[in-house]
Copies of this chain bind each other. A is one copy, B any other.
Amino acid sequence: MFFNLIPKEFNFFDLFEKQVSYAVEAAAAFKELTAKGKIDEQGIERIRSIEHQGDDVAHTIIDQLNKTFITPFDREDIHALAKELDDVIDMINTIVNRMMVYKITNVNKNLVAFASAIEESVQAVACMVKAMRNMKNAKAISESCVEINRLENVGDTMRDKVLAELFDTEKNPIEVIKWKEIYQDSETVLDICEDVAHVVSSIMVKQA
């Protein structure tokens, strides 16, 4: 097997940009689905296909990482970044997959609000990942990071509010089980975005 002794930095940046573009696509598709007020087979299939494509890029990054001797930043940061971005897409896919399994087809306003926050956060994540190419973008990165943290807090508050409401008003325990999980997963997407932000911030600090 051939070891690349010359750093092909551009490669990692390109791959991460590609990977994050799938996260953006998944978040946009999820927002669209909820905006339509209906989770349909076609929408679920679309997100599943985005997830597969994102998976392929993640595998390519790990393969490249294992075969490359010199990397643009710490190996474990590259690994963590690929994994966290993969987790963002996975979790969005998990949510719509669960809705299909649970035969939930009608979307409520809470899920619309979550989908909106998720899309905003994933957009900010994409800004951070793209800005990594150039240390001059430190300010843009730091602003995106603040925005992602803000949206994570918004998500926490939303989750607490909608769960309290769910336990107060929903008398069917089966529905409680289903929606509790969907709301918690939605909030988890925002948590993972924050994890991505931390990885990117760490990388930038080390490069400084």
Contacts and interface: CB of A to CB of B under 8 A. Distances in A.
Nearest to A180: B177
Tell me the interface secondary structure of chain A in the complex. helix
A163 B67 CA distance: 40
A180 B176 CA distance: 14
B1 A163 contact: no
A101 B63 contact: no
Interface stretch (A5-13, A30-38, A105-113, A200-208): A200-208
On chain A, which size bracket covers the interface? 20 to 34
A66 B178 contact: no
A194 to B, nearest CB: 12
Contacts of A176: 173-174, 177
B97 A160 contact: yes
A164 interface: yes
- Chain B CB within 10 Å — which of A168, A173, A198 has the most? A173
A62 B103 contact: no
A1 B63 contact: no
A165 to B, nearest CB: 10
A164 B103 CA distance: 8
Interface of A: 1, 62-63, 66-67, 76, 97, 100-103, 160, 163-164, 167-168, 173-174, 176-178, 180, 198, 202, 205-206, 208
